[in-house]
Amino acid sequence: MALSALRVFGANQTMERKIKKILASRGKARIDDPRWKRAAVLIPLFVKEGKYHILFTRRTETVGQHKGQISFPGGRQDQRDQDFLATALREAREEMGIDEKDVDILGELDDTCTATTDFCITPFVGLIPHPYTFKVNQREIEEVIEVPLSELRAEESFRAELHGRDGGPLLVYSYRYKNHNIWGATAGMLKQLLDLLAP
């Protein structure tokens, strides 16, 4: 392996250890309320051309929930799932063909709830290899989107707006990448991850 490649590999290993340490050393906000429908997602990170990227999907217009929205691979918990991590990994395999053994789980983020659809989502951050041969479920996934972390950290990509709701004003986050608008619960989980990794 060339010296430059070794340096990139070493830097990546250091970054991954830092991410694990950050996620493991914090108190996770858990929501345990039977009124919510439970779901889990995988936030897939990968290294491409020496830079960290996040994998998103854009859902089709034929799925039952969140039609056309940009999201992370994931979905509703099934009775056969042992825990929320099993849900996230199963859904990532069913939607994207990501094998469970190819995911290095780096940690968890806080539970995130969606007021519009009554879902409470448990997010897991995981590292996947790159390049990777995805097997996309075309019934559920319209598009696979790879976004460099550096683009999401750019100040001009982020927006926070107050939206009026029955229960009062609601702060809504969004990120813009090229012609893609990442918003709602996905943007909330993304902001939490970026804030944790900011230092």
Whether residue 41 is contained in a domain is answered as yes
- Spatial distance between the Cα atoms of 90 and 95, rounded to a whole number of angstroms: 9
HEC states along 28-59?
CCCCCCCCCEEEEEEEEEEEECCEEEEEEEEE
Whether residue 173 is contained in a domain is answered as no
- The percentage of residues in the chain with a pLDDT greater than 70, rounded to a whole number, is 90
**pLDDT the model gives residue 165:** 65
Most confidently predicted of 62-66, 150-154, 163-167: 150-154
Whether residue 20 is contained in a domain is answered as yes
* pLDDT tens digits, one per residue of 80-100: 999 999 999 999 999 999 999
Q: What is the dihedral of CA 110, 114, 117, 119, to 10 degrees?
A: 10
> What does pTM read for this prediction?
0.90
Number of domains in the chain: 1
**pLDDT the model gives residue 171:** 86
- The answer to whether 52 and 45 are in contact (CB under 8 A) is yes
**Residue 35 pLDDT class (50, 70, 90 cuts):** confident
More confident position, 2 or 63? 63
**pLDDT the model gives residue 66:** 62
Whether residue 169 is contained in a domain is answered as no
Whether residue 150 is contained in a domain is answered as yes
**Mean pLDDT in residue range 104-112:** 96
Q: Tell me: pLDDT of 132 over 70.
A: yes
Whether residue 50 is contained in a domain is answered as yes
Q: Tell me: pLDDT of 77 over 50.
A: yes
**pLDDT the model gives residue 51:** 92
Q: Tell me: pLDDT of 45 over 60.
A: yes
The CATH number of residue 72's host domain is 3.90.79.10
Query: Cis link prior to 131 (omega < 30° from 0)?
Result: yes
